[in-house]
Amino acid sequence: MTFGFIGTGNMGSALARAARKRLEGRHILLSNRTAAKSEALAKELGGPPSSNQIVADFADYIFLGVKPQMMEELLEELAPILANRKNRFVLVTMAAGLTIADIQRMAGADYPVIRIMPNTPCSIGEGMILYTPGPGVTEEETQAFLEAMSGAGRFALLPERLMDAGSAVAGCGPAFADLFVEALADGGVACGLPRAQALEFAAQMLLGSARLILESGKHPGELKDAVCSPGGTTIQGVRALEEAGFRGAVMDAVIAAWEANGKLK
């Protein structure tokens, strides 16, 4: 089983490194517009240097890691190669806003497509990857894909109609979380903490809080209440956030990202 990655930017590279945890380097093909970038990654992963044409001709799973506005041009280039293939393959798209039907139309045929929406924590094996197998993708192909990519993090099956909404939370969310951690650290610095310590405290707090939600199964509101002692300091901080419209601002950020996804089509 060979996985080919066209586009080795931040996300493509992260997914290729995740695949390397389960596949031998010789089964990972890498191509990028800047050849030196994919060649360096190929050397790191122990795989051969490649090209778009080689990936399209030989990979069993072809990852399309280019920006949505570049997808049509790429697939127009690959269409003749895909049409001439005799063996089965699966296209894997991670382009925001482009549906499975869009990819099939651009590729020129109803090829099997898995649509995914990964996020940046995939680079350390802690990603939240949403996926939708399109028509024609077999259960065996889906399971082989999930097993090979399990090193990227947690996978969740999602109906395609909800992919843009899921992307606004899981895909865009790391930027919102980073902003929150930075703001927490800024607050700590304002109170006298050294910058490095303030960042460490804020990041580890967020990591631990997220794991507690996932592993305890408790609602975040319940966990929040457990920290807020009557007349204590935490409830005063919560009050300040509520007065500033914190929850409404976060909801607006998700909705804005979701609306922007729709405009990419």
| Per-residue model confidence as pLDDT tens digits over 41-55 | 999 999 888 999 999
Note the Cα 69 to chain centre separation in Å. 18
Q: From residue 68, how far is each of 7, 58, 63, 93, 165 by CA, in Å?
A: 12, 23, 13, 10, 17
Half-sphere exposure of residue 170: CA atoms within 13 angstroms, side-chain side? 24
In the predicted structure, residue 25 carries a pLDDT above the cut 70: yes
φ, ψ dihedrals at 49, nearest 5°: -65, 150
Report residue 265's pLDDT band, with 50, 70 and 90 as the boundaries: low
Report residue 202's pLDDT band, with 50, 70 and 90 as the boundaries: very high
In the predicted structure, residue 97 carries a pLDDT above the cut 80: yes
Mean pLDDT, residues 191-209 taken together: 98
| Per-residue model confidence as pLDDT tens digits over 156-194 | 999 999 999 999 999 999 999 999 999 999 999 999 999
CA–CA dist 27, 167 (Å, integer): 29
- The secondary structure of 76-138, three-state, reads HHHHHHHHHCCCCCEEEECCCCCCHHHHHHHHCCCCCEEEEECCHHHHHCCEEEEEEECCCCC
Note the Cα 237 to chain centre separation in Å. 32
The pTM score is 0.91
| Per-residue model confidence as pLDDT tens digits over 120-162 | 999 899 999 999 999 999 999 999 999 999 999 999 999 999 9
Q: What is the mean pLDDT of the chain?
A: 95
